[in-house]
């Protein structure tokens, strides 16, 4: 079945450091890929997404490129801020099942806790 | 604020009990998804409803059930609760059901503690 593997955390960085959180996936067909962020005590918010190979999703200085050849969707930011401290989830949404059903559930990685210190 | 509301925010109950979690999707959204977030299992998909009909099931226990009502709000019923059911339960909504690139908007979650 579909699966997402994220780098283990926690990740601790100083403000203005460069961030990379690795994400690889296993899926049939061509899934859509997402990064969600969860701030303390809150629900998940969509950070960015990409729907086909070589697409680059970007938002709030974060970027991720859909790499089909390496089945990866690594999250990057050039200069992190204290306010970026949160848990980051990589996720995929698959194409229709062979049975013809519609199932666009999100399959999530285990999440990566990022702490940015001033 | 995603526009998705969930009640209650916190729930403390005892083993063997039954609880109902409620979710109101964003205005106009027809799909509701339920997810469970626990320390050992991470975020897992439970069930998907579209316009009142069940569309897909994930790792949902037989003790759990859900429904979506004509006004599109959804309820997740958890019965014969066990300690291991303690988790954060999220619902998410999206406009339709049939487009994998569609964004799912998450509610703030209901934190369930079973003692």
Average pLDDT over residues B36-45: 90
What is the model's pLDDT at position A100? 44
Average pLDDT over residues B79-89: 96
- Average pLDDT of the residues of chain A: 90
**pLDDT greater than 70 at residue A95:** no
Residues of chain B by 3-state class (helix, strand, coil), percent to 5: 5, 50, 45
Average pLDDT over residues B54-65: 91
**pLDDT greater than 70 at residue A82:** yes
User: Phi, psi (5° rounding) for residue B101?
Assistant: -90, 0
Which residues in chain A are closer than 8 Å to B29, comparing Cβ atoms?
Answer: none
Average pLDDT over residues B2-19: 96
A7/B contact by beta carbon, under 8 A? no
The three-point CA angle B80-B86-B92 to 5° equals 100
Which residue of A100, A102, A111, A112 is the best one to mutate when testing the B interface, meaning the one whose CB has the most B CBs within 10 A?
A102
**pLDDT greater than 50 at residue B36:** yes
Confidence of residue B95 (pLDDT cuts 50, 70, 90): confident
Across B12-21, B51-60, B82-91, least confident range: B51-60
User: Phi, psi (5° rounding) for residue B20?
Assistant: -125, 125
Average pLDDT over residues A66-73: 95
Extract the tokens encoding A4. 């997402």
- Average pLDDT of the residues of chain B: 92
What gap in Å lies between CA A80 and CA A41, rounded to an integer?
21
Report CA torsion sign: B18, B3, A51, A79.
negative
| Contact between chains at B2 and A111 (C-beta distance less than 8 A) | no
**pLDDT greater than 90 at residue B39:** no
HSE of A75, CA atoms in CB hemisphere, 13 A:
30
B2/A contact by beta carbon, under 8 A? yes
Across A41-55, B38-52, B93-107, least confident range: B93-107
What is the model's pLDDT at position A71? 95
Of B33, B90, B100, the CB nearest to A43: B90
Q: Is A35 strand, coil or helix?
A: strand
**pLDDT greater than 60 at residue B93:** yes
Confidence of residue B78 (pLDDT cuts 50, 70, 90): very high
Contact indicator for A102, B98 with CB cutoff of 8 Å: yes
The three-point CA angle A60-A65-A70 to 5° equals 150
């Amino acid at each position: 079945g579909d699966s997402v593997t994220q780098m283990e955390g926690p990740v601790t960085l100083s403000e203005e450091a460069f961030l990379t959180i690795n994400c690889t996936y296993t899926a049939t067909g061509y899934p859509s890929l997402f990064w969600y962020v969860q701030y303390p005590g809150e629900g998940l918010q969509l950070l960015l997404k990409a729907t086909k190979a070589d697409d680059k999703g970007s938002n709030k200085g974060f970027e991720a490129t859909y790499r089909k050849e390496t089945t990866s969707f690594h999250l990057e930011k050039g200069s992190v801020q204290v306010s970026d401290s949160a848990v980051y989830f990589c996720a995929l949404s698959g194409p229709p099942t062979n049975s013809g059903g519609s199932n666009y559930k999100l399959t999530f990685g285990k999440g990566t806790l990022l702490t940015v210190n001033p | 604020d995603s526009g998705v509301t969930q009640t209650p925010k916190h729930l403390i109950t005892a083993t063997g009990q039954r609880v109902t979690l409620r979710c109101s999707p964003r205005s106009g959204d027809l799909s509701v998804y339920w997810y469970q977030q626990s320390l050992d299992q991470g975020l897992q998909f439970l069930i998907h409803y579209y316009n009142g009909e069940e569309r897909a099931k994930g790792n949902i226990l037989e003790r759990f059930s859900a429904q979506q009502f004509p006004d599109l709000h959804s309820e997740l019923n958890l019965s014969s609760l066990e300690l291991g059911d303690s988790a954060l339960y999220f619902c998410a909504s999206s406009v339709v059901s049939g487009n994998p690139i569609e964004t799912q908007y998450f509610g703030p979650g209901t934190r369930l503690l079973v003692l």
